[in-house]
Amino acid sequence: MVVGATPGLLADTRGRHLHDLRISVTDRCNFRCTYCMPKSLFDKDYKYLAHDELLSFEEITRTARLFALHGVEKIRLTGGEPLLRKNVEALIEMLAALKTTDGRSMDLTLTTNGSLLPKKARTLRAAGLQRITVSLDSLDDNVFRAMNDVDFPVTDVLRGIDAASDAGFFPVKINMVVKKGVNDRDIVAMARHFKGSGHIVRFIEFMDVGSSNGWRMDDVVPSAEVVRAISAVMPLVEAEANYSGEVAERWAYRDGSGEIGVISSVTQAFCASCTRARLSTEGNLYTCLFAQSGHDLRALIRSGRTDAEIAAAIGLIWEQRGDRYSEIRSDATAQDPKIEMSYIGG
């Protein structure tokens, strides 16, 4: 019998509550973004997880329900490419039925490369998904094709964003990872394209996730530079956070035509307010994006433990958490072995 925390509001060793759960539903992807799943490593010999290694939809939902008992109010599905998981709509339906501790609906969202949205946006909405974030690194077709490294055209992702919007996911959040010398010339064009559309572009600093993307500090464009570049042509004013602990810093166009966000994971660590747990495709729980190891919840689930026992194990893991990687990042830690982004999700 695992003893420890009983369900309820949990705090870790730095006083941070458990609030968000990111669930990776597949380790596969139809893109090979050079900073995430470089072709050199994720080639035809790469060993992806076998079907029976993945958590089933029932196992994911059961685990998510136990997280909800501990105070989780927001669930994000990710991957790999989450829309590649067969019948992911059925999982969404199951998760959409979960409730927070005070009886509200779970905030249920998903991050996707957008490639399958023209086909799937409506069924995702019908299944109960509430919001969608689409990753899009450039509007320049040549740059985008080179970054996704499978020659995927930018127009098809734009069609995906339109399809999401038409299906009722509005506004769509659009995430652009900025890498110096690769797509930083496209920052202003990206902002301009979506200005006035209602959609919200968020510029993300390139991070040293995993061990395969050859990260160097020199590749990072600080968010302050992004804001300066956009504001020079389309003036911005700082906007208030929507809620305390919001990861993206908000900036509104002075002419009232919308807003952008910047996520400064490298230059302005937000560990102090990090309330996220991550569940990998095969059921490992990670308490930090940069963790070197996880906690095997699948073993507990498949060994017949009760809900109370699994909830207690989750509680203990969270209460012992002290992660603050981004606060202590250095050139040396950047070389440490870490789990890959495609495995744990963004």
For 94, how many CA atoms within 13 A lie in the half-sphere containing its CB? Answer: 16
Among 7, 283, 294, 345, binds ligand SAM (CB under 6 A): 345
Q: Say which residues have a Cβ less than 8 Å from residue 144's Cβ, sequence separation at least 6.
A: 136, 137, 138, 152, 153, 154, 157
Measured from the CB of residue 340, what is the shortest distance to ligand SF4 in angstroms? Answer: 9
Q: Which does 209 bind (CB under 5 to 8 A by kind): ligand SAM, ligand SF4, none?
A: ligand SAM
Q: Which C-beta is closer to ligand SAM: that of 315 or that of 346?
A: 346
* Burial environment of residue 142 by CB neighbours within 10 A (0 to 12, 13 to 18, 19 or more): exposed
**Which region, judged by CB under 6 A, interacts with ligand SAM, from 75-83, 99-107, 231-239, 307-315?**
75-83
What beta strand segments (E) does the chain contain? 20-24, 74-78, 107-112, 131-135, 173-178, 200-205, 236-238, 249-253, 259-263, 276-279, 284-286, 295-296
Instruction: Please say which residue, 148 or 275, places its beta carbon nearer to ligand SAM.
Output: 148
Query: What is the end-to-end Cα distance of the chain in Å, rounded?
Result: 33
Q: Which residues sit at the interface with ligand SF4, rule CB under 6 A?
A: 29, 31-33, 36-37, 79-81, 113, 135, 270-271, 274, 288-290, 323-326, 342
Binder of residue 138, out of ligand SF4, ligand SAM, none (CB less than 5 to 8 A by kind): none
67: partner contacted, choices ligand SAM, ligand SF4, none (Cβ within 5-8 A by kind): none
Applying CB under 6 A, the span of 4-12, 107-115, 294-302, 328-336 interacting with ligand SAM comes to 107-115
- Candidates 129, 177, 291, 313; binder of ligand SAM (CB under 6 A) is 177
212: how many CB neighbours lie within 10 A of its CB? 18
What is the Cα–Cα distance from 229 to 223, expressed in whole angstroms?
Answer: 10
31 vs 57 by CB, closer to ligand SAM: 31
CB closer to ligand SAM out of 70 and 179: 179
Size of the site for ligand SAM (CB under 6 A): 21
State the binding partner of 204 from ligand SF4, ligand SAM, none, CB within 5 to 8 A by kind.
ligand SAM
Q: Which residue has tokens 């927070």?
A: 100
Q: Give the shortest CB-280-to-ligand SAM separation in angstroms.
A: 12
Structure tokens at 263: 């996520």
Interatomic CA distance for residues 246 and 15, integer angstroms: 16
Q: How far apart are the C-alpha atoms of 234 and 163, rounded to whole Å?
A: 27
Residue (210 or 258) nearer to ligand SF4, CB: 210
The answer to whether 112 contacts ligand SAM (rule: CB under 6 A) is yes
CA distances from 121 to 87, 125, 185 (A): 13, 6, 30
Q: Nearest approach, Cβ of 204 to ligand SAM (angstroms)?
A: 5
Q: Which does 280 bind (CB under 5 to 8 A by kind): ligand SF4, ligand SAM, none?
A: none
Q: How far is the CB of 254 from ligand SF4 (least distance, A)?
A: 30
Place of tokens 């020659």: 151
CB 131 within 8 Å of CB 171: no
When CB distances are held under 5 to 8 angstroms depending on the partner's kind, the choice from ligand SAM, ligand SF4, none that residue 37 binds is ligand SF4
Taking the C-alpha atoms of residue 95 and residue 72, their distance in angstroms, rounded to an integer, is: 12
Residue 280 makes contact with ligand SAM by CB under 6 A? no
**Is residue 175 involved in binding ligand SAM (CB under 6 A)?**
yes
From ligand SAM, ligand SF4, none, interface partner of 73 (C-beta below 5 to 8 A by class)? none
Cβ neighbours of residue 95 closer than 8 Å, sequence gap 6 or more: 60, 61, 64, 75, 77, 106, 108, 128
Instruction: Show contacts with ligand SAM in window 9-48 (CB under 6 A).
Output: 29, 35-36
The rounded distance, in Å, linking the Cα atoms of 146 and 32 is 10
* Chain contacts with ligand SAM (rule: CB under 6 A): 29, 35-36, 78-79, 81, 111-113, 135, 175, 177, 204, 206-207, 209, 213, 341-342, 345-346
